Structure 1
């Protein structure tokens, strides 16, 4: 059974515990291997205790954006429950989707007194979904009741990976529900604004001390779920359940379903960034607050682009703090970023 710091009533983790079986690698070494052809899912990152200054920016993010996150989560909860009803089965994508899935589960439980089932499974870009986990769920629930859920959309890579994989499951809803969709890919979202979801600010210390998911033949057999490790050494730094409780306290149970204004397509913005900054690999461009934060936390950044309309907003404080700590340049984007407030660009291997 996969170990985590989450309450077992909140989520069932369909993951293989690989703690101690894989040696985590430093960021620079992982980046060299990724750009050299090794898939990111075949390695685990070393995760560090966040600095005191950075944790202050996280606390500020919670103070200023917990309610905004709660409102967007409430909207997506309403949409999911109205469409699927009491038989709704939440399948969140590990690991960023897990705290959102728990919040949706609690919202529905608190408002409608319905204890919907919530699973977390792995999907990996260019490697696909965990079919063993899918078979486990489908042996227990109707395909029509399943709703996939994630935290946010960057440029839409996982969204399209899911869509491609679900061709094999014709009765499952192929849409991916998210709290924030600044790429304007789906209507099944809480907002199209690039909001700061505070859980995007941290790694495992906000996701039950779980690593990102892992898939390598010598560790994961054909009969196994995809893997994840438990970072027990960070137990004192864990904010996972505190985060869930704090957002839950901000829920407005009078929230109603509403239409949300869209904007420019995210993929076109990414292409514009590629052209303007002469970037040949689309995977080096990571738009949105959540993805920019990930670049700073676990990749080797080249630079951070800021939407000039939001240059002074508090939502970007944690990004600026991380950039300062890592010596990464920040500049105003020379490309219209549309709904995106920031974009992280990863260094090319020649520069790493």
Structure 2
């Protein structure tokens, strides 16, 4: 590597991160600037109008949906019923990471959906291999890229050859996967370091990742809630008047919601299933390594068909998969929800939320995903 570039990396002034979030510091370090005292939330309708009028989504935050008691109970019921499935997927992803990257890997979760998944993978590696790997949570933003200061901080701390493994929760249409690819290319152009842009996810229904625990589009309990299952952290924020050239991207830590926090409950419930499935996870991972399923991006074919059928020009208004559909119902203005079939057991909470918000649900035959949320385009009345 060019010595001048190395010196530039070493000398970049990046302050140590502030302690943030409700997770134990041994589980994750958030490389984020604390914006807790800044009023960033905007009502859903106002925020939707701003986004579709050109304001970038990362410049403001949604007012986080406070679920009903029935919905909170659904989270707990889902956690009980799906804990072993989530644990198996996390264990398989962890085994693939260890096989491909080794035990000196540095886990880099993409905030915020990736954070609890990164913790699950870290905990599995600790349990199975008796090795404590570093784990950070950093910001990546569609249309703006990854937090390069966070990348530089990790490389300064762990060496320029550190094997960073990016982690996210699940895939929708693969937008963040594409942003990560472009970000790694940009980083190499600036600093001469080629980062491995492999993205490990718990679930890959979009068929756009090589490292994944499953491709089933099912409800991951951490998708049910917002900050209260993600260490009480908000979505990440990037605004020039708040984030300086030497700052990490920003986020809010909702300390006032500690009594409602289930972040550690979620992690501990999943982790308690690890001991019973280590052999199974290793066998599944070995099979995937021997006979890997190709990355086909076939989920995008669904998106194009939906766009054509409903006359939707902006692909960003189509949010496929259980996780993304949940987000549409929790913090956007939904137009309608498409499902593969009404009796899909993965859709209980989707149908509940749609009913709560009076959003129509339609069957879209042949859908690759379990469901898809469509955001209401400006100027179009809900049918």
TM range (shorter): over 0.9
Q: Equivalent residue for 1:173?
A: 196
Q: Distance in 2 between matches of 1:237 and 1:315?
A: 25
Q: Which of 82, 92, 113 is the equivalent residue of 2:130?
A: 113
Specify the SS of the correspondent of 1:114: coil
Specify the SS of the correspondent of 2:107: strand
Q: Distance in 2 between matches of 1:187 and 1:98?
A: 19
Q: Which of 286, 302, 305 is the equivalent residue of 1:269?
A: 302
Give 5+ residue unaligned stretches, structure 2: 1-17
1:115-148, CA deviations, whole angstroms, 9 ceiling, x for partnerless residues?
0000110000000000110100111224351110
1:9-62, CA deviations, whole angstroms, 9 ceiling, x for partnerless residues?
000100000001133111111111101110000001111421111112212211
Deviation at 1:2, TM superposition (A): 4.4
Q: Distance in 1 between matches of 2:269 and 2:87?
A: 9
Give 5+ residue unaligned stretches, structure 1: none
Specify the SS of the correspondent of 1:189: strand
1:319-344, CA deviations, whole angstroms, 9 ceiling, x for partnerless residues?
1111111111111115x212x10000
Q: Which of 326, 346, 349 is the equivalent residue of 1:315?
A: 346
1:206-235, CA deviations, whole angstroms, 9 ceiling, x for partnerless residues?
001100000001111111100000122322
Deviates more, 1:213-222 or 1:257-266: 257-266
Counterparts in 2 of 1:39-118, with a 5 A limit? 39-118=56-135
Q: Equivalent residue for 1:182?
A: 205
Q: Distance in 2 between matches of 1:209 and 1:72?
A: 24
Corresponding pairs, count: 348
Verify: 1:155 aligned to 2:173, yes or no. yes
Q: Which of 192, 199, 214 is the equivalent residue of 2:237?
A: 214
Larger radius of gyration: 2
Q: Distance in 2 between matches of 1:177 and 1:98?
A: 12
RMSD: 1.5
Q: Distance in 1 between matches of 2:49 and 2:231?
A: 28
Q: Equivalent residue for 2:3?
A: none
4+ runs deviating over 6 angstroms: none
Counterpart contact for 1:49–1:234, Cα < 8 Å: no
Q: Which of 361, 367, 370 is the equivalent residue of 1:337?
A: 367
Counterpart contact for 1:16–1:224, Cα < 8 Å: yes
Specify the SS of the correspondent of 2:201: strand
Verify: 1:134 aligned to 2:151, yes or no. yes
Counterpart contact for 2:199–2:210, Cα < 8 Å: no
Counterpart contact for 1:69–1:195, Cα < 8 Å: no
Deviation at 1:83, TM superposition (A): 1.5
Specify the SS of the correspondent of 1:133: helix
Counterpart contact for 2:344–2:370, Cα < 8 Å: no
Specify the SS of the correspondent of 2:54: coil
Q: Distance in 2 between matches of 1:281 and 1:46?
A: 24
Using the size of structure 2 for normalisation, the TM-score is: 0.88
Specify the SS of the correspondent of 1:139: helix
Q: Distance in 2 between matches of 1:18 and 1:227?
A: 6
1:67-109, CA deviations, whole angstroms, 9 ceiling, x for partnerless residues?
1111011000000011121211000000000000000000000
Q: Equivalent residue for 2:268?
A: 245
Counterpart contact for 1:88–1:146, Cα < 8 Å: yes
